[in-house]
């Protein structure tokens, strides 16, 4: 997937969902699954540093994710949150043509397959 397509996707998703989009993702050069949240598109590369767009094999938008109750107070612990994957999918389809896969855990967007 090209850089401009990644930028358009993440810009639109963060504009539509101002509370953030939570994703897991896999890089093409290893088997580790990473987690991050897209809250704003004000900086690149949007993924954990020093990841480049061309290194991302897929991202998944989970139905449920665990995060801190209060990001300013990690002692408050974590809890399980729900994410509206159907609304995310509608927005992705509005943005353009992407390779999507429905999984029991959520919606996966393939950059390379």
Beta strands per DSSP E along 8-104: 21-27, 33-38, 56-62, 64-68, 78-82, 99-103
Closest by CA position to 64, among listed 35, 111, 22, 110: 22
Quick one: tokens of 50?
């020093």
In whole numbers, what is the pLDDT of the chain averaged over residues? 86
Q: What's the pLDDT score for residue 45?
A: 56
Q: What's the pLDDT score for residue 53?
A: 79
Domains of the chain by residue range: 3-110
pLDDT (tens digit per residue) in 57-113: 999 999 998 888 887 888 888 888 999 999 999 999 999 899 999 999 999 999 876
């Amino acid at each position: 997937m090209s850089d401009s397509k990644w930028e358009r996707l993440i810009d639109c998703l963060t504009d539509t969902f101002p509370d953030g989009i939570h994703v897991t993702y896999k890089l093409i050069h290893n088997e580790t699954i990473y987690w991050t949240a897209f809250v704003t598109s004000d900086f690149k590369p949007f993924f954990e540093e020093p990841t480049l767009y061309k290194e991302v094999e897929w991202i998944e938008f989970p139905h449920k994710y665990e995060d801190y109750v209060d990001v300013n107070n990690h002692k408050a612990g974590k809890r399980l949150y729900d994410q509206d994957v159907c609304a995310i999918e509608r927005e992705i389809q509005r943005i353009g043509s992407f390779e999507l896969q429905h999984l029991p855990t959520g919606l996966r967007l393939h950059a390379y397959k």
